Homo-oligomer: A and B are copies of this chain.
Amino acid sequence: MSLVVVGSMAFDAIETPFGKSDKIIGGAATYIAWSASNFTQPIKQVSVVGGDFPKDELQMLEARGVVVDGVEIKENEKSFFWSGRYHLDMNTRDTLETQLNVLGTFNPVVPDSYQDCEILMLGNLSPVVQNTVIDQMKNKPKLVVLDTMNFWMETAMPELENVLKKVDVLLVNDSEARELSGQFSLVKAAKVIMGMGPKYLIIKKGEHGALLFNDDNVFFAPALPLEEVFDPTGAGDTFAGGFVGHIAKTKDISFENMKTAIIVGSAMASFSVEKFGTQRLKEISKADIDARIQQFVQLVNFDIELV
């Protein structure tokens, strides 16, 4: 199935208890494309960067089947920049600096060549921008997947509620699910959120795995227990990339197949956290990915015979 990915392509500077990165390549759409391109090609990218964004990064993506016709380059402006510091638990972080730059005026234009879109993956962005992209699609995609964050719940809730009505799958983390729904129990939160539009809800719990809800069904995917989480930046986007990548490859938007897609996403995220930025995603082979997915099978596989 044809896949369009919308989101930031940017610079990050990251501090963790284990080290500090230079200004490195980041952005939701970057991670999503690196991850998804292991499973499906082409990936049609919609984003905006400044003249400072390395051309060879775009070329590396093109070499992996990522179409960048929808990536606007504002030569005289600077790319989005985020800098943050992770706490010891690697689950919480402080933002040290945010420079919106080109993202502040981002008004995406979907190229005509993207109009065959069957899966639309909307990475974390202003819900107004996300809505603009949905509205530019002349035919409704078979699956609209949206990621968002607490910042938009606090600053643009009506706009977020508006876009959620047009979404099939929503991705949030556990604290965002609680904030969005006003419910502490994730089961109750899921019911409230599915009442807001999305038929499917994925709640990411970091090292505690992820839950997929649909009607009264629930599926749980574990995170791989790791010796070390080196850099969690982009893990959620890498997860989303594996999820949509697997669905695009298998051409199956059923709940059953979404379960497998979540395992694939979890496997991809487990690579992402092993090194700074997208570095690990650039190294891994199909054999690495298959072996990692087998680890997930082993991790949760058990036999039971009810007597």
What residues make up the interface of A, taking CB atoms closer than 8 Å to B? 88-89, 184-188, 205, 208-209, 211, 217-222, 225-229, 256, 259-260, 262-264, 290, 293-294, 297-304, 306
**Distance of A205 Cα from B301 Cα, bound (Å):** 19
Copies in the complex: 2
A260 and B302 contacting across the interface, CB-CB below 8 Å: yes
13 contacts between A and B (CB under 8 A): A88-B184, A185-B227, A185-B228, A185-B229, A186-B225, A187-B225, A188-B228, A208-B209, A220-B300, A222-B300, A262-B302, A264-B304, A293-B306
Contact A208:B205 (CB < 8 A) given known A185-B227, A222-B222, A263-B304: yes
**Distance of A263 Cα from B299 Cα, bound (Å):** 13
B226 and A187 contacting across the interface, CB-CB below 8 Å: yes
Contacts of A259 in B (CB 8 A): 301-303
Which chain B residue has the least Cβ–Cβ distance from A90?
A: B184
Q: Min CB distance, A92 to chain B, in Å?
A: 14
Q: Min CB distance, A26 to chain B, in Å?
A: 24
Contacts of A303 in B (CB 8 A): 256, 259-260
A299 and B219 contacting across the interface, CB-CB below 8 Å: yes
Tell me what chain A mostly uses at the interface: helix, strand, loop, or mixed.
Answer: mixed
Contacts of A299 in B (CB 8 A): 218-220
Which chain B residue has the least Cβ–Cβ distance from A219?
A: B299
Q: Min CB distance, A79 to chain B, in Å?
A: 34
Contacts of A219 in B (CB 8 A): 298-300, 302
User: Which of A184, A302, A304 has the most chain B CB atoms inside 10 A of its CB?
Assistant: A302
Contact A290:B302 (CB < 8 A) given known A209-B222, A222-B220: no
